Amino acid sequence: MKNTLRQVFHSPKFVIGFVIFAALLLTTIIYPIIVTADPLEMVGNGNFFKPGTYVSVKDSVEGTRYTLNVDVKAGSLDSKISAEDKESMKEWLTKFGGVAEADINLEDTEGLIALWEANYSEDADQPGLTASRKKYFVRLNKNIDGVLLDSDVIIAQKDPETGELVESATIGSKEFVNTKDVANKKTFILGTDNFGRDVLTELVDATKTSLRVGLIAGIIATLIGLFLGLISGYMGGVVDDLIMFITNMFTVIPSFVLLILISYSVGQNARGVNLVGIIIGLTSWTWTTRSVRSQVISLRNRDHVNLSKLSGHSMMRIVLTDILPYLASYVVMAFILQISSGILSEAQLSMLGLGPSTSNAATLGLMMNWATAYAAPLNGSWWAYFPVVVTIALIAFSLNLMNTGLDQVFNPQLRD
């Protein structure tokens, strides 16, 4: 046993797979200890907030301020007006503003803005301009309005009795806050999803759920497969015929179709995480049965089995002590694959809306489902689906790698 383990951990493939899988598993255990927030809590009031740290505006206004001698004007000008904007401003000014093209110098941003502020009018007659273009100029105008002015921003509070605005503070253009001083802030490493939930926290929880589904499915499928395979292979005869008849029937029907039908008929009410795992397990045991059976058939006429039979050992004992150990390596490998395919099946089911319900659990498939429903791939919100895809890929990849590694150790033909 010790020797086998050593061999196994000498297989580089197995080790890589094991490390990835262990890392994922550890993350799902450790992360919730550090971040205790409810993964289903809808924090963001909107769709797909991008990754980053969000600091409270009120806190930053009220917090300690530092004056830094930095040219803020250039920075904010660049962020507010792109080269394309400048070209558009020039176009508008020459077409509708009555400014000669020679008077406009695109290099001189401040001069351009001054010209713009002097000549642009929302209500000007703009023949031939589309509504979307007109609105673009209105937005642009709003955006650069007052950008040249160096005046302070005034913070005012409403007097609760008179309703008048009372000036409480001013903010100069060179004042900064240290983000460490801001009490209320929230970091979304992977942004938020369409419900405004923290994607990273949800992803970790979903990975945990998926691993659980995979494990439940894997255990059930392997146990059923092993049990039926052992009985049918060892006993033979009518029992074998009967079991193989059932197995063949289940093999012929595509298991995913079966999965969809069962999930649909169970209904969303009852479809918890565990039940989905059980359903997947119940539909994916057939290949394990077939393989175990064929191996048992080849084992049952070996000398040591015959000796045991002659010694009058019970069937149970023979199967457990003389046959099962020879299958153990295969069963472990099959189990790993069952986990992997269970996780993928859950993802597929949830993508179809047949997985656990959204308000009860986060799963990888559900995250993908909602991201697609709210067109995350179309509006560039990569954080809502890409990390999910990577996680699914990593789980499947690591499990398959472990399986290949084991195969090389246990299968003499593949041994180096």
The residues that touch another protein, with contacts defined as CB under 8 A, are: 40, 42, 44-48, 84, 128, 130-133, 135-136, 138-139, 194-196, 254, 256, 267-269, 287, 290-291, 333-334, 337, 340-341, 344, 347-348, 351-353, 357-359, 368, 370, 372-380, 382, 385-386, 389-390, 392-393, 396-397, 400, 403-404
- Closest to another protein by CB, 31 vs 136, is 136
∠ at Cα 187 (184, 191), nearest 5°?
135
d(CA 293, CA 101): 86
Minimum CB distance to another protein smaller for 182 or for 217? 217
Would you say 50 or 185 has its CB closer to another protein? 50
Q: Which of residues 200 and 305 has its CB atom nearest to another protein in the complex?
A: 200
Closest contact distance (angstroms) between CB of 68 and another protein is 30
H/E segment holding residue 248: helix 237-252
Q: Give the type of residue at 22.
A: A
Instruction: Report, in Å, the least distance between residue 10 CB and another protein.
Output: 22
CA-closest candidate to residue 204, choices 368, 35, 20, 397: 35
For another protein, the closer CB: 72 or 297: 297
State the angle between helix axes of 324-351 and 255-266 in degrees (0 to 180), rounded to the nearest 10.
60
Q: Which amino acid is at 81?
A: I
Q: Kindly report the backbone phi and psi dihedral angles of residue 190, in degrees, each rounded to the nearest multiple of 5, phi listed first.
A: -115, 30
Task: Identify which of residues 212 and 271 has a Cβ nearer to another protein in the complex.
Answer: 271
- Asked if residues 378 and 360 have their Cβ atoms less than 8 Å apart, the reply is no
CA distance linking residue 300 with residue 46, whole number of Å: 64
**345 is written with which tokens?**
């099946």
Smallest gap from Cβ 236 to another protein, in A, equals 22
Q: How far apart are CA 224 and CA 281, in angstroms?
A: 9
Report the nearest approach of another protein to the CB of residue 289 (Å).
11
Rg of the chain in Å (alpha carbons)? 33
- Which lies closer to another protein via its Cβ, residue 81 or residue 305? 81
Torsion, CA 375, CA 379, CA 385, CA 386, rounded to 10:
150
CB of 210 to another protein, least distance (A): 13
Give phi and psi for 293, each to the nearest 5.
Answer: -55, -50
Cβ closest to another protein, residue 183 vs residue 373: 373
Which residue's structure tokens are 């971040």? 35
CB of 181 to another protein, least distance (A): 29
Least Cβ distance, residue 247 to another protein (angstroms)? 13
Neighbours of 250 (CB within 10 A): 16
Whether 366 and 33 have beta carbons less than 8 Å apart is answered as: no
Instruction: Judge contact between 406 and 332, C-beta under 8 A.
Output: yes
Rounded to the nearest whole angstrom, what is the least distance from the CB of residue 180 to another protein in the complex?
Answer: 29
